[in-house]
């Protein structure tokens, strides 16, 4: 009997071309999981993720679901996946879900975490998991800039996809800053994110923190609805999908 399974994954996105399976690449998270599930089920299995993380972006808790007809318990499925998946993709949990559950369509909010090293020390062992900016930031001004960005807004200026036909209005519930020594962690929680949105928001806030932009400019950037109005796209290695809410 076909059952719907919900799983929570963590992965190091460093060597992958993102979550989404692509015809021109065998190095995708979705592709790796589907190939192991096909071996397990004996037929092709489609995996739906809560969202598509970009190339080089990591996940601490990505939710996904798939339908399969296998005579295995949830614990056995989890064990099988972890045995055959590459070392940089891990399954944290597997549980049977209702037939109607869909990891992307049923999600209500997501939290993304961006990690920045502001200290002078070059990051050798953590270079794949933190943005080595190596410059001090004025976090107070960044927080002030962030206050203009939360709420229901049109984030078209913070999207890399110029051909997007759908609405670019999203609700950014909160932007939280946490300092740990020379490290700055920024958490974004919202009901949905556009292509590269978190990385462009981060790049723009960094420019404020470096004194290259004023916090008040955020209003003008939003009104412009033009990608060129916003700041640079922060690199992927600092970004983690931290949590998906249902």
Q: What pLDDT is recorded for position 162?
A: 80
3-state secondary structure 60-90: EEEEEEEEECCCCCHHHHHHHHHHHCCCCEE
State mean pLDDT over 116-139.
93
Which whole number is the average pLDDT over 114-124? 91
Residue 121's pLDDT band, with cuts at 50, 70 and 90, is confident
Give the position of tokens 């089920």. Answer: 41
DSSP per-residue codes, the chain: --EEEEEEEEE-GGGSS-SS-BTTBS--HHHHHHHHHHHHHSS---EEESS-PPTT-EEEEEEEEEEE--S--HHHHHHHHHHHS-TTEEEEEEEEE-TT--TTTT--EEEEEEEEE-SSS--SSSTTTSEE--S---HHHHHHHHHTT-EEEE-GGG-S-TT--S--EEEEEEEEEEEETTEEEEEEEES---TTHHHHHHHHHHHHHTTSS-TTHHHHHHHHT-GGGS-----GGGEEEEEEE-
Four-point Cα dihedral 7, 195, 115, 102, nearest 10: -10
Query: What is the structure's pLDDT at 154?
Result: 97
Is residue 213's pLDDT more than 90?
A: yes
| pTM (two decimals) | 0.94
Point out which residues pair with 207 in neighbouring strands: none
Mean pLDDT of 11-40: 94
The pLDDT of residue 165: 80
Q: pLDDT digit string (tens) for 30-43?
A: 999 999 999 999 99
On average, the pLDDT of the chain sits at: 96
Instruction: State pLDDT tens for residues 175-198.
Output: 999 999 999 999 999 999 999 999
pLDDT for residue 22 is more than 90 = no
The predicted pLDDT at position 76 comes to 98
Domains in the chain with CATH codes: 3-97 (3.30.70.580), 109-245 (3.30.70.660)
What is the reported pLDDT for 173?
98
Asked if residue 112 lies in contact with residue 197, where contact means CB atoms within 8 angstroms, the answer is: no
Residues labelled catalytic: 54
Flag whether pLDDT at 163 surpasses 90.
no
């Amino acid at each position: 009997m076909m059952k719907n399974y919900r799983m929570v994954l963590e992965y190091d996105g460093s060597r992958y071309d993102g979550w989404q399976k692509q015809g021109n690449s065998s190095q995708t998270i979705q592709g790796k999981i589907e190939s192991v599930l096909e071996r397990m089920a004996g037929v092709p299995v489609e995996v739906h993720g809560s969202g598509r993380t970009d190339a080089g972006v990591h996940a601490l808790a990505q939710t996904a679901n798939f339908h399969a007809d296998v005579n295995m318990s949830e614990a056995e499925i989890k064990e099988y996946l972890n045995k055959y998946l590459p070392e940089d993709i891990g399954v944290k949990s597997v549980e049977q879900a209702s037939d109607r559950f869909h990891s992307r369509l049923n999600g209500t909010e997501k939290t993304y975490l961006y990690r920045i090293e502001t200290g002078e020390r070059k990051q050798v062992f953590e270079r794949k998991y933190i943005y080595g900016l190596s410059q001090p930031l004025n976090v107070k001004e960044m927080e002030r800039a962030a206050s203009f960005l939360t709420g229901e807004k049109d984030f078209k200026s913070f999207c890399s996809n110029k051909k997007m036909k759908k609405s670019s209005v999203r609700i950014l519930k909160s932007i939280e800053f946490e300092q740990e020594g020379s490290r700055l962690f920024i958490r974004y929680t919202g009901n949905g994110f556009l292509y590269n949105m978190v990385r462009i928001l981060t790049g723009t806030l960094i420019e404020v923190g470096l004194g290259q932009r004023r916090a008040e400019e955020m209003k003008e950037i939003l009104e412009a609805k033009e990608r060129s109005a916003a700041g640079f796209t922060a690199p992927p290695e600092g970004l983690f999908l931290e949590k998906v809410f249902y």
